[in-house]
Structure 1
Amino acid sequence: MKFKYIPLLFLAAATILPACNKDFLNQVPDDRISIDQVFARRKYTEAYLANIYSYMPNDAYRNTSPWEGMSDDADITYDRPGSGYDTYATNLGNWNAASNYFNYWTSFYKAIRSATYFINRVDENEEIKALPNGNDLIAQYKAEARALRAFYYYCIVRQYGPCILLGDTPIPGDLSPSAEEMNLPRNSMDECIDYIVAELDAAAPLLPKHFTDQPDTEYGRLTQAFCKAVKSRALLHAASPLFNGNADYAMLKNKNGTQLINQSYDVNKWKRAADAAKEMITGFSFDLYRKNGAGGTFDPYLSTRDVFIDPWNIEVIYARPTNSLSAWERSASPRLCNGYAAVAVTQQLVDEFEMANGKGIKEAGSGYVETGFSTEEHPFAPKGTYNMYVNREPRFYVNVSFNGSPWINPSEGVKLIQTYFTGNTGKKGSWDFPRTGYIARKNVHPDSNPRLSKYVARPLVIFRYAEILLNYIEALNEAEPGNPDIALYLNKIRNRAGLPDVAPGLGQAEMRAKIWHERRVELALENMRYFDTRRWKIAEQTDGGPFYGMNVDAGTKLTDLVFYQRTVFERRVFLKQYYLFPIPQSEMDRDPQLVQNTGW
């Protein structure tokens, strides 16, 4: 059995008990244990640590994760108020600090406090210390909690910007709201990033280097590789335009005047980010996953698809063993197999994928055609497919189910997905249809079948090597434009996807555009695009205005041309303040030293 995150009911009480009157604890109910017992028994201590793990984002579940539905890559179908799909309201601009949408501030701080309490008390466990490797185990557990705490701080920073660093002393739970410990200002962004990096660096040496250094029953525990991957993301965020000399946040200051976003651009931040990614490239044995197809030859489609399907492969840095992938698979499956078709891909993302020859759809010589239907079979596109979807690069077919595409699981025969109005996954008579005419397909196992409630259990990939390569070349292009590593690693990613090298001799701006494009396509539907458009400060151009798909209100057969018309399915609103989430109003009311993000 793989390592699992085990939330236990007593743990909620355990984090409160230290603050209670001790006389009240003289008698412990039969279904509760005291916090002292938690740190006296090995199984309870380990369960407490497992509970800290349980806060790790489970972004495969569309209800609780906004990152795809609020990006320009995707749409969450359910466009009705009060349905619980809050990306609909946020995309239309109908939210404020009191809306409490996707309030990770509060939940991550709960995890941070639990981690700090664990670090302070795990040394008390004599039962663990009595083991032959007891002291090493204690050190490892503390390092896991420290690294988790740093990761949760990073998750807060990427969503809200500068946060409050609580330090290593747990805050008692019985303090009055006026207590000094409850009135804390935000730390600056530079302080937050430096703290996160320092904590990850401190934890890493006490952890196994890679999951292959662990028993397979402990896959999912943190490793040095996890720490380095979080460090890479955090430093890339800090170097990006959103936080690196952004004058839009000149007035974002604490009440004592402390500047929260440094107003001076620092190219060295890009170098730090590049160095952190390079450390993973040279210090570990990761590689891009490659898989052979029929005849034993390299298959770009299977390689880019099955990097998520084949567990713990050479590209996986960290994966979450317990997850909601079955919910994702049903959401990303057509109604013809009892799926919800709830995660729709936008026309903007469809247009981003290149042709099989490596040219963009607007480039001369690409061969792109947006009229008529194919007269012969093509890989992944049967005869009669609308020409827009023919001869696209392999990653297009990994990511997108389009009108007329065969469903990924052929065990019950080849089934063509129909997203036109009266089709088997169309709008007529159901909420379960893609508003764009396209369904997300990535990370759906080819043996899964929602109709039979059959889902293949596997880990959810959180960090993979392709992202680290993209982090590296993006940062390097800003710190050292023209460095040969930029084209080298960009082309490695493209070649794995079956595409040719980029043209040689590109300048910094041209290479930046290539890297941004490659990042969007390679990491599509992996909860990255939302943060990328914001840290690049381009979301005002990408995330507002008309969003397009096909005409899902028309069509009675696959070849009805009226369906294949670029149609506005939603007009989104993106205001400058949306670059950062608002700190929840409940938190603002609790801490008078908190200052709200600009514009909220």
Structure 2
Amino acid sequence: MKKKSLVYLFALAATLGSSCKKDFLNQVPDDRITIDQVFQRREYSEDYLTNIYNYVPNDAYRNKTPWDGCSDDADVTYDRPDQGYDTYPMNLGNWNAASNYFNYWKTFYQGIRSATYFMNRIGENQEILALPNGEALIRQYSAEARFLRAFFYYNLIRQYGPVILLEDTPISGDLAPTDEELQKPRNSFDECVDYIVTELDEAAKDLPKHFTSQNELDYGRATQAVCMALKSRVLLLAASPLYNGNSEYAGFVNLDGKQLINQQVSIDKWKSAATAAKYVIDNFNFSLYKKNNEGGNFDPYLSCRDVFLDPWNSEIIFSRNANNLSAWERSISPRLCNGYSAIGVTQSLVDEFEMANGKGIHEAGSGYSESGFTTTETEYTLANTHNMYVGREPRFYVNVSYNGSPWINTSEGVKVIQTYFSGNSGKKGTWDFSRTGYIARKNLHPNSNPRLSQYVARPYVIMRYAEILLNYVEALNESDPGNPDIKFYLDMIRERAGLPGVAAGLSQTEMRNKIHHERRVELCLENMRYFDTRRWKIAEQTDGGPFYGMNVDAGTRVTDLAFYQRTVFERRVFLKAYYFFPIPQSELDRDRNLVQNPGW
């Protein structure tokens, strides 16, 4: 969507518009506009809506968001919380409700308020209403704001648990901090979910079906498909063990005793999640992105890599056009290319990738070896590559840069990444090294070159079809184990990755483990793993204790065996309280009826 310099003025106007006196607004200089004027002109109203989209998280630059660096998939190198790198103290357990780390509570409620204010006033715009399709356009714009409001609530509940649902009339901005109107209790988690789902269903009625139904300049705006995909996410979250009959939260109540997390396990919640995902599968003509190589043959590596690089392909559901992918690309580039090596992949994630034959590294017949080096090149590896990195599935090479791997950009020749101690991207004498000996590679364009400050602009993918398939098979396995759709759609994802399907006749538990594994690998480094381990209630096992990588304090050459030793780079702390972020202390100070999350 178009950007205007007035956009941030509109955000300010939205905050002031319902609370400032007219005599104050009349003092605004002649070259400024008032909030009333915003809803008299089509251009200004559209700019206001654009500004609401700006509240959609710009999570492309993962160094300063917690979702990857606080998961068991990755590590943010820097121990510099004064510069916003707060994952380090969080992983060590050094934080509390007053730390204010990654405080998105305020941000999302600002987005909610802006969306509500827009919905209340967009119908006043006579310039839009005078158009032949004016009324339909008003309904569409209102539906977009409704979707965005629901999206912001979803982001709140996955981080903080049950939150406060605000009414459709924004609270006045000039109330005293002690005003009773501000003293609001939390709604239950189920109430939050029901509200979000209802809002998404309502919004979808007045939106284009799919981005292919939009003008190209409107790509990235809400559609029916986006609403229904988010509905799938929300219902899967609600069906998961953290929220579905979690007896550990029996004492999680409001001041009046209202239960905030339900205490009865419901299979129907899994059924609803499965139904929602299947609706997206059946009604929007998405497909897994597939790409052929230069010989015209299907290439799993290019398919899994370029699904993020080829804008608005058959798999993309929702993307953010304005983003900071260039910062992400530089942060995951090795130092030899003037990058920062800032996102280290953990040994745990490296071990999760299968071998090319579809077997896990610990399965009999996998062919996995942790000794010796290759003497010849293979399709993905150079000579002198350690055997633990040889013969792995294509997604491993899409997602991970390892010691001895070729750099993705070959415009200046083949460059070999060296993460051992004295290597060109190693620890010796620098901040810019990976503490694990591995560097994230996902969503890095082969034509980008940080050394020349050249980056390939493209949308940042927020939701894609592979996630919907994984949502469906997970919910179906919990509600209808043995249903043939489970294996069919799970195998579809594996086939795109160049792997054989899962064995037939698996038990519900065996299939659950396969689904969890596939979800981790397929969606790794996409801000998903952090929330998955929490909603599954396994984060106490996955996110605490010793974390391993290679021995980055050793090595003078690529084939130095001292480097290839599993070494603890960090001992992380995960307490039960960490399943939810703490509500910021400043919010509790303002709202006497707002109870804190358990353990904080």
Query: TM-score category by the smaller chain?
Result: over 0.9
- Residue 253 of structure 2 aligns with which residue? 253
| Equivalent residues in 2 for 1:274-293, closer than 5 Å | 274-293=274-293
How many angstroms does 1:333 deviate by?
Answer: 0.5
- Residue 14 of structure 2 aligns with which residue? 14
How many angstroms does 1:20 deviate by?
Answer: 1.2
AA aligned opposite 1:347:
Q
AA aligned opposite 1:239:
A
Cα distance in 2, alignment partners of residues 329 and 30 from structure 1: 43
* 1:463 aligned counterpart, secondary structure: strand
Return closer, same or farther for 1:148/1:81 CA change in 2, 3 Å cut-off: closer
How many angstroms does 1:188 deviate by?
Answer: 0.3
Aligned residues: 599
Cα distance in 1, alignment partners of residues 10 and 2 from structure 2: 20
1:386-436 per-position Cα deviation (integer Å, ceiling 9, x unaligned): 000000000000000000000000000000000001111000111001110
1:523 aligns with 2:491: no
Kept in 2: contact 1:3–1:218 (CA 8 A): no
- Residue 98 of structure 1 aligns with which residue? 98
* 2:64 aligned counterpart, secondary structure: coil
Kept in 1: contact 2:291–2:298 (CA 8 A): yes
Q: Quick check: 288-297 or 482-491, which moved more?
A: 288-297
- Residue 433 of structure 2 aligns with which residue? 433
1:563-594 per-position Cα deviation (integer Å, ceiling 9, x unaligned): 00000000000000000000010111110000
| Equivalent residues in 2 for 1:368-387, closer than 5 Å | 368-387=368-387
Return closer, same or farther for 1:506/1:5 CA change in 2, 3 Å cut-off: farther
- Residue 27 of structure 2 aligns with which residue? 27
* 1:208 aligned counterpart, secondary structure: coil
Cα distance in 2, alignment partners of residues 431 and 370 from structure 1: 29
- Residue 344 of structure 1 aligns with which residue? 344
Q: TM-score, normalised by structure 1?
A: 0.99
- Residue 365 of structure 1 aligns with which residue? 365
How many angstroms does 1:176 deviate by?
Answer: 1.4
- Residue 39 of structure 1 aligns with which residue? 39
Cα root mean square deviation, aligned: 1.1
- Residue 124 of structure 2 aligns with which residue? 124
Kept in 2: contact 1:5–1:51 (CA 8 A): no
Identity %: 73
Q: TM-score, normalised by structure 2?
A: 0.99
Kept in 2: contact 1:4–1:220 (CA 8 A): no
AA aligned opposite 1:358:
G
- Residue 553 of structure 2 aligns with which residue? 553
1:165-204 per-position Cα deviation (integer Å, ceiling 9, x unaligned): 0021111100112222201000000000000000000000
- Residue 156 of structure 2 aligns with which residue? 156
Cα distance in 2, alignment partners of residues 236 and 4 from structure 1: 34
Cα distance in 2, alignment partners of residues 64 and 162 from structure 1: 25
Cα distance in 1, alignment partners of residues 536 and 258 from structure 2: 24
1:435-469 per-position Cα deviation (integer Å, ceiling 9, x unaligned): 10000000000100001110001000110000000
Cα distance in 2, alignment partners of residues 110 and 531 from structure 1: 23
Kept in 2: contact 1:407–1:416 (CA 8 A): yes
AA aligned opposite 2:203:
A
Greater than 3 Å deviation, 4+ residue runs? 2-7
Q: Quick check: 12-21 or 47-56, which moved more?
A: 12-21
Cα distance in 2, alignment partners of residues 292 and 327 from structure 1: 29
- Residue 500 of structure 1 aligns with which residue? 500
1:332 aligns with 2:332: yes
How many angstroms does 1:31 deviate by?
Answer: 4.7
1:82 aligns with 2:62: no
AA aligned opposite 2:500:
P
Kept in 1: contact 2:16–2:173 (CA 8 A): yes
- Residue 537 of structure 1 aligns with which residue? 537
AA aligned opposite 1:519:
R
Task: List alignment gaps of at least 5 residues for structure 2.
Answer: none
Kept in 1: contact 2:70–2:91 (CA 8 A): yes
1:249-291 per-position Cα deviation (integer Å, ceiling 9, x unaligned): 1111010110000011111000000000000000110000110
Q: Quick check: 17-26 or 444-453, which moved more?
A: 17-26
* 2:151 aligned counterpart, secondary structure: helix
How many angstroms does 1:4 deviate by?
Answer: 5.5
How many angstroms does 1:131 deviate by?
Answer: 1.2
Kept in 2: contact 1:74–1:345 (CA 8 A): yes
AA aligned opposite 1:520:
R
Kept in 2: contact 1:5–1:50 (CA 8 A): no
Task: List alignment gaps of at least 5 residues for structure 1.
Answer: none
* 1:146 aligned counterpart, secondary structure: helix
Cα distance in 1, alignment partners of residues 173 and 548 from structure 2: 49
| Equivalent residues in 2 for 1:182-201, closer than 5 Å | 182-201=182-201
